[in-house]
């Protein structure tokens, strides 16, 4: 199958049809019409086989996750999803694999109202590169650089499940069957917190999505905001499946360093805490307070008021 046949069969004229897409796949460039008084949020993410996903990962789940991890970046900025491009590198043309991959990709894209507007295909080691575009009201985008001393630190969802799911797939952990499906699904199917990000536009002072592990990702907020933080490890949101599989101490380690949770970590001033409760409840998102921004430039972990230390190794790209 030739390149253009591949595009025509699996990607062109599929998925979400948005009115703001004036010209999609099939020309040298796509043409889109941004809304008035909106800034364009753009993020790019690459998934490489044997680095970011296992060769055994089902194609449908890979297609879904490829979109979801990019959407999580938009959520962290409070942006509304809009358009994406796909650069797909494959060692060969496998029709069954492509069919499943495209179905998973468009399942996520349609759910979050994203149109595929272009991209590229080429031969080589399997990798997926998606550039995603969203829109956010001008001046309302969340960033990493606004946290202030005294702000409270929150996270959505639960942490550590995805990392344990990966360890199960790698054969590093053997868990009770009642927990296994949930944990693997959390690795394959992250939930980008789009509604939460939108709700936080006028409430949060900073935000980031948790892709490399809480311990690593919060450091980006501290550096950008020139502040420090204290986190109580006893407040970390841990699922029953995680704690039931590895016990509380190892569960905390997974939550701090595991990565690929794609939950939101954000800071909120005391004056906005009441409004936060209302906003995120309406968004249908569970969230918990885990610490506070303080003076300095370091992250301190505590348990019952005492320093807490673990062997912290978050994911690094190089």
* Dihedral sign from CA coordinates of 43, 47, 53, 58: positive
- Residue 15, phi then psi, degrees to nearest 5: 80, -155
Q: Is 120 annotated for ligand binding? A: yes
Q: Is 239 within any annotated ligand binding site?
A: no
Instruction: Residue 148: name the closest of 73, 224, 97 by CA.
Output: 224
144 marked as binding residue: yes
Residue 28, marked binder? yes
13 is an annotated ligand-binding site residue: no
241 is in an annotated binding site: no
- The set of residues, in sequence order, having a beta carbon less than 8 Å from that of 193 and lying 6+ positions away, is 72, 75, 156, 157, 209, 262, 263, 264, 285
With a CB cutoff of 8 Å and minimum separation 6, the contacts of 150 are: 269, 270, 292, 293
Give the Cα separation of 126 and 90 in Å (integer). Answer: 5
Q: Answer for the pair 248, 206: CB distance below 8 angstroms, yes or no.
A: no
Q: How far is CA 215 from the centre of its chain?
A: 16
Is 43 marked as a binding-site residue? yes
Look at the chain and count its residues: 318
First to last CA, the chain: 35
On whether 308 is known to bind a ligand per the annotation, the reply is no
**Is residue 310 packed enough to be buried (19+ CB in 10 Å), middle (13-18) or exposed (0-12)?**
middle
Cα-based distances in Å from 268 to 132, 214, 290 = 27, 17, 12
Q: Has 10 been labeled as part of a binding site?
A: no
* DSSP code of residue 204: -
Q: Left (φ > 0), alpha (ψ -120 to 50) or beta: where does 226 sit?
A: left
Q: Is 212 annotated as a binding residue?
A: yes
Binding residues for ATP: 119-120, 144, 211
Binding residues for substrate: 52, 260, 315
Binding residues: 28, 43, 45, 52, 73, 119-120, 144, 209, 211-212, 260, 315
């Amino acid at each position: 199958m030739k390149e253009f046949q591949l595009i025509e069969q699996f990607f062109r004229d599929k998925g979400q049809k948005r009115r703001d897409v004036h010209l999609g796949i099939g020309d040298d460039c796509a043409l889109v019409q941004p809304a008035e008084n909106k800034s364009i949020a753009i993020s790019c993410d690459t998934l490489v086989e044997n680095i970011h996903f296992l060769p055994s990962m089902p194609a449908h789940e890979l297609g879904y996750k490829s979109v979801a991890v990019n959407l999580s970046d938009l959520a962290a900025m409070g942006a509304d999803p809009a358009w994406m491009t796909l650069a797909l590198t494959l060692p060969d043309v496998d029709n069954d694999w492509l069919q499943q991959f495209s179905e998973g990709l468009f399942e996520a894209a349609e759910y979050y109202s994203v149109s595929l507007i272009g991209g590229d295909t080429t031969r080589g080691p399997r990798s997926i590169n998606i550039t995603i575009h969203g829109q956010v009201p001008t001046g309302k985008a969340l960033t990493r650089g606004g946290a202030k001393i005294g702000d409270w630190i929150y996270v959505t969802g639960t942490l550590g499940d995805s990392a344990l799911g990966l360890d199960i797939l790698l054969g590093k952990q053997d868990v009770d069957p009642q927990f296994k499906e949930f944990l693997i699904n959390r690795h394959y199917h992250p939930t980008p917190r789009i509604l939460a990000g939108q709700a936080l536009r006028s409430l949060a002072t900073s935000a980031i999505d948790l892709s490399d592990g809480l311990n690593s990702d919060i450091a980006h907020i501290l550096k950008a905001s020139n502040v420090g933080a204290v986190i109580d490890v006893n407040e970390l949101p841990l699922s029953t499946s995680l704690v039931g599989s590895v016990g509380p101490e190892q569960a905390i380690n997974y939550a701090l360093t595991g990565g690929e949770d794609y939950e939101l970590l954000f800071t909120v001033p005391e004056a906005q805490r009441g409004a936060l409760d209302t906003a995120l409840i309406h968004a249908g998102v569970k969230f918990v307070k885990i610490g506070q921004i303080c003076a300095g430039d370091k992250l301190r972990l505590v348990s019952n008021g005492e320093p807490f230390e673990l062997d912290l190794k978050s994911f690094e790209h190089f």
